[in-house]
A and B are shown apart, each in its own frame.
Chain A
Amino acid sequence: MTNLRFWLRWSWRDLRERWLQVAAIALIIALGTGTYAGLGSSMPWREQSYDTSYAQLNMYDMRVLFTNGSYVNGEELIAAVESIEHAGWIEAAEPRLIAPTLVDVSDGEDVLVPGRIMGVTISEDRSAVNGIHINAGRSLTAEDSGQPRAILEYNFAAYYDLPPQGTILISGGQALDYVGQGMTPEYFMVISDEIGFKEESDFAVVMLPLETAQTLTDHPEQVNDLVLTLADEADWETVRAEVEAAIAAHFRGTGVSFMHTEDDPAYTMLYGDLEGDDQIFKLIAYLFLAGAAFGTFNLSSRIVEAQRRQIGVGMALGLPRRLLAFRPLLVGAQIALLGVVFGVLIGVLISNLFGGMMRDLMPMPVFETPFQWGIFAQAAVLGIGLPLAATFYPVWRAVRVQPIDAIKTGHLIAKGGGLTSLLARVPLPGKSFTQMPLRNLLRAPRRTLLTLLGVAMAITTQIAMIGMLDTFNEVIDQGEQEFMQDSPDRMIVALNNFYPVNAEPVLAVEQAGPVAEAVPAIQLGGELLRGNDSVEISLELLDLDNPLWTPNLLEGRLESDGPGIIIAEKAADDLGVGVGDTITLKHPRREGMFAYHMVESEIEVIAIHANPLRYLSYMSRDQAGLMGLENMVNVLYLNPADGSTATDVKRVLFAQPGIASVREVGMFIRIFRDMMSLLVGFMSVVVIAVLALAFLIAFNSTSINVDERAREIATLFAFGVPVRTVTRMTMVENLITGILGTLIGIGLGLLSLQWMLDSRIETMLPDLSLSVVLSPLALALAILLGVVVVTLTPLLNLRKLTRMNLPSTLRVVE
């Protein structure tokens, strides 16, 4: 090892001799390391951005929610909270008034969506709890208190590309000037109670001074929500118990529930996403790296084998084995290093793409994308380590043979041992030259396996990625079919409270001009319990013989003698119940005008519905007595009258008091499809990388095959076999490799997909019933990639074949 420059120079000649294959392998490694580094960087970016954003705006530590319809005096509430024993643990407390509304921002196009007004305290230390980050326009000041001025939630405003300031209308036709657009922690991701994720297209939050909100909702000085930040030393449970007791003492009969930071839907979803995404990103990156490792192993094995005689000569000259191994290892290390250099560039490219995409799709008050040295260092270690490790085995194997064997002609030819011998004797149909491609594959099963595993890795990644899209699309299609049924124009009107069926707001809906027919219903939150398992649900009580819509059933019946519930198949599976079983339903029960308590009732599962959404459950409105809501209603389903549009309905109902939201059923599907577009954007980047990976692996293995069989090919040429026939034989060989690799890839891809869905279902989308679906398009793409591209790759070697120097190739001893 005295002269490193000598060895480096020699290894560079080796690299130059196979520069095209070296470049291809370096690119494969680069794709692996680049994907790892690029995707991996997005995790710390997101986590740091979330942490900073939540900290900067003082996300609440505790939220106190008053039961629907309950209001208390704001000043008295603060006094009650400040009276608790451990009041010193409370750093800040802010009473709020939150109410459902409709928001009309129509300006040319109709944008009329449900939303929420959120009355917040305007003071100098406004950012004490759940501050507002101003993205555009200005913030609210003390002068705005009591005035019809507001801040419009940024995600909604950005979705519709609204100007920084403007005028909107809310329920009751009230005009509000929004002076700016902003973000607040609870809506870093817009989630309403109705759908559950990314609803910026259909849910508008309007933040306004508390006094203004109280005036607009006709609840002067009242609030129905409280957020607190606690000192580091505070014991959350102790504070909760004391606050609960204080509220019970001060506001008798008023029900409250408590939320931790981690219970906040946006918080949970954003942080929950991180873990699931990290697993998926890592799986993708590992698949790429595995492909790279197989590819490098293939190339290094063949470089070592090509140097076999030289190694033998070295042995004969008495060179120590470590020195003999040094040259091929140096080659492997340099290929890996080259790959990592490319990989860093690809990583920077991918991470920039993702960073930009995330800033646009998941805006946060703070979103910084610093270069992730740690992640890139990990990628570099993997990028160098894996390919280098892949070169050790062939090198170790090569330096262990006896010098005489290494020098002997024909050493490379398959010997009669083990699997090779067995496979070589497999009788094959057809003429000898038609058998040749398969024979070539069988005589070197290890190499064949490595090549097809390389192809399989690319297909695995592609199937896993596109299969995920297919699976989600299938769920959306199922949901759409179930939601729409025979009344696709159906609309849902949510009232701002429970009303008797003959109350003014209900009659106003039923008798509105653009409404053909309306069906009253009740919508409640609840929980299904069975043993230690529980599933949160959205429970609808409706007339199960109504003409507009009833759930399709997979099994069971709509009618029941006693209390009966219709639940989703996934809820039934998760709870281990079936039709006829009894289950515990935890639900609110109305006690008094504005007070509700959560109670538990035993109830029979009478049917399983066909919607893939787990949280949807249905009961007959006849059972409303169980909730203390006989003849009450808070939701109506309706069909627009002939000649009327959804917008007509919205405009008419918008002007009515008591209406919280009016939505088309199709909107639910649109929100799902919007979410899918995020995935599609992400997948498209990965699919391009996968295409490149599969092509490079196929090209490299073909190119290596041509080099390795140069003498055989030259012999065929010497006997007058045309180039096209030889190319066809290579293509058949690739076709077989491609088919096998694709089949393995599809199998592994489906397994990876199942694993991803299983890990995701439990963390991110527990309410979706997902089962692996693969579209014909995904299969066609896999075949295109794994079979067609791989089969056609030999055409790229045509020039090499036609320019082959026959005399010298025929005389070369291996």
Chain B
Amino acid sequence: MIHLENISKRYQVGDVSVSALDNVSLTVEKGEFVVVLGPSGSGKTTMLNVIGALDVPTEGQVYINGDRLPLVSKQTDRFKFRRETVSFIFQSFNLFPSLTALENVQLVLDMADAPDAREKAIEVLNDVGLGERINHFPHELSGGEQQRVAIARALATGNPVLLADEPTGELDFRTGVQILDLLRRQAEAGKTVLVVTHNREISRVADRVVELSSGHIISDGAPRGGKVSIAELSW
């Protein structure tokens, strides 16, 4: 499904070249729930951005479903890729403050010119447990509810890959667990889910944990101590 081949990403900061990713290769299969783990500055968000075509690697190739991801040449292709293949969930939600929960979700459906956009948006919001809050504006929702709207928005696209950057970073434990549960269920439903976090506890519920440090993958496999159920988490 996702294949990174010798990806490097270097930033120029003044006269200094900083390497965020250094010759990283990775393959993620369809339906996998992968947690990318690492401390701040390890390159995990950069990896997510490269996969989501938000950022362009300095070297290497990205393949999605066997197709090479358009990198630099055509910006419109990258927009199309993001519109049709990946969906993002951000740490700080990035909801549109002037739109209600329903409209935030409906927006991506409208953009895709989907029929019955409103009904579908309501359905997805019901799925994430926000059926009663659809007409609330973001500032009227709690952090967890806002993140669920963000997940609903990502799900509504119907795109096969979900990319979540620290989705529980701004949430309390209880809410964070709910969000993780929601994401894991998406993987179970066949979507490929990549979650970036620095929280090792979260990685325990993943199918697979990819650990990064200083731009290198230092481990890749099942969670240490084995996969646990969400109910067993604590942080």
Which residues in B have their C-beta under 8 angstroms from that of A424? 98, 137
- How big is the B interface, by class? 35 or more
**Cβ-neighbour of B99 out of A432, A717, A722 (below 8 A):** A432
Q: State in angstroms the CA–CA spacing of A120 and B31 once bound together.
A: 110
Q: How far is the CA of A180 from the CA of B22 in the complex (A)?
A: 92
Within 8 A of B (CB), among A428-487: 431-436, 439-440, 442-443
Contacts of A802 in B (CB 8 A): 75
Task: Identify A413's interface contact among B52, B106, B138, CB under 8 A.
Answer: B138
Measured in the bound complex, the distance between the Cα atoms of B92 and A410 in whole Å is 9
CB-contacts of B40-64 with A (<8 A): 45-46, 49, 52, 54-55
List which B82-112 residues lie within 8 A (CB) of chain A: 82-84, 87-88, 90-92, 94, 96-99, 103-104, 106-108, 110-111
Give every chain A residue within 8 A of B217 (Cβ-Cβ): none
Q: Known contacts being A719-B82, A720-B84, A810-B90, is A431 close to B106, with CB within 8 Å? A: yes
Q: How far is the CB of A95 from chain B (nearest CB, A)?
A: 83
Closest residue to A812 on the B side, CB-wise? B92
Q: Which B residues are in CB contact (< 8 Å) with A715? A: 88, 90, 94, 96
User: B80 — which chain A residues lie within 8 A by C-beta?
Assistant: 720
Residues of A within 8 Å of B45, CB to CB, are 807, 811
Give the secondary structure class of B's interface.
helix
Contact partner of B94 (CB less than 8 A), chosen from A415, A443, A711, A721, is A711
Tell me the minimal C-beta distance from B136 to chain A in angstroms: 10
Q: Nearest A residue to B83 by beta-carbon distance? A: A720
Q: Does B79 contact A (CB under 8 A)?
A: yes
Evaluate contact between B139 and A415: CB separation under 8 angstroms.
Answer: yes
Q: CB distance B54 to A813 under 8 Å?
A: no
**Given the interface contacts A439-B99, A720-B79, A806-B54, does A433 sit within 8 Å of B88 by beta carbon?**
no
Residue from the list B88, B97, B170 in contact with A443, Cβ < 8 A: B97
For the complex formed, measure the closest distance between the CB of A154 and the CB atoms of chain B, giving whole angstroms: 67
Which one of A440, A721, A723 lies within 8 Å of B111 (CB-CB)?
A721
Q: Report the separation of the CA atoms of residues A431 and B114 in the bound assembly, to the nearest whole angstrom.
A: 11
In which size bucket is the chain A interface?
35 or more
Inter-chain contacts of B79 with A (CB < 8 A)? 717, 720-723
Contact of B140 with A by CB under 8 A: yes
Q: How far is the CA of A415 from the CA of B108 in the complex (A)?
A: 24
Q: Is the CB of A436 within 8 A of B108?
A: no
* Least Cβ–Cβ distance between B109 and chain A, in angstroms: 8
Q: In the complex, what's the smallest C-beta–C-beta distance from B41 to chain A, in angstroms?
A: 13
Which of A402-421 touch B at CB < 8 Å?
A: 409-410, 413-416
Residue of chain B at shortest CB distance from A409: B92
Q: How far is the CA of A201 from the CA of B76 in the complex (A)?
A: 66
Interface centre among B91, B94, B104, B110 (most CB of A within 10 A): B94
Q: Which residues of A contact B153 (CB under 8 A)?
A: 719
Residue pair B98, A813 in contact (C-beta under 8 Å)? no
CA of A409 to CA of B107, assembled, Å: 23
The answer to whether A807 touches B49, judged by C-beta atoms less than 8 angstroms apart, is yes
Complex partner residue of A810 from B94, B138, B140, CB under 8 angstroms? B94
Residues of A close to B110: CB separation below 8 A? 431-434
Q: Complex formed: what's the CA distance from A424 to B108 in Å?
A: 20
* Cα–Cα distance between A432 and B87 once the two chains are bound (Å): 19
**A436, B110: Cα distance in complex, Å:** 12
B108 neighbours in A (Cβ, 8 Å): 719
Expressed in whole angstroms, the minimum distance between the Cβ of A809 and any Cβ of chain B is 10
Set of chain A residues within 8 Å of B165, measured between Cβ atoms:
811
Tell me, yes or no, whether A718 is within 8 Å of chain B by CB. Answer: yes
Q: Are A810 and B96 in contact (CB under 8 A)?
A: no
Chain B, range 129-157, C-beta contacts under 8 Å to A: 137-140, 153, 157
A710 to B162, CA, bound (A): 23
Partner of A718 from the list B54, B91, B139 (CB cut-off 8 Å) is: B54
CA gap between A807 and B83 in the complex, in Å: 16
State which residues 712-737 of A face B: CB under 8 Å: 712, 714-715, 717-723, 725
Interface residues in chain A, defined as those with a beta carbon under 8 Å from any beta carbon in chain B: 409-410, 413-416, 424, 431-436, 439-440, 442-443, 711-712, 714-715, 717-723, 725, 802, 806-807, 810-811, 813
Identify 11 new A-B residue pairs, CB closer than 8 A, beyond the known A435-B103, A715-B96. Answer: A416-B139, A431-B106, A431-B110, A436-B107, A714-B94, A719-B88, A719-B108, A723-B79, A725-B111, A807-B54, A811-B91
User: 7 interchain pairs (CB within 8 A)?
Assistant: A413-B138, A413-B139, A416-B137, A432-B103, A436-B98, A440-B98, A810-B94
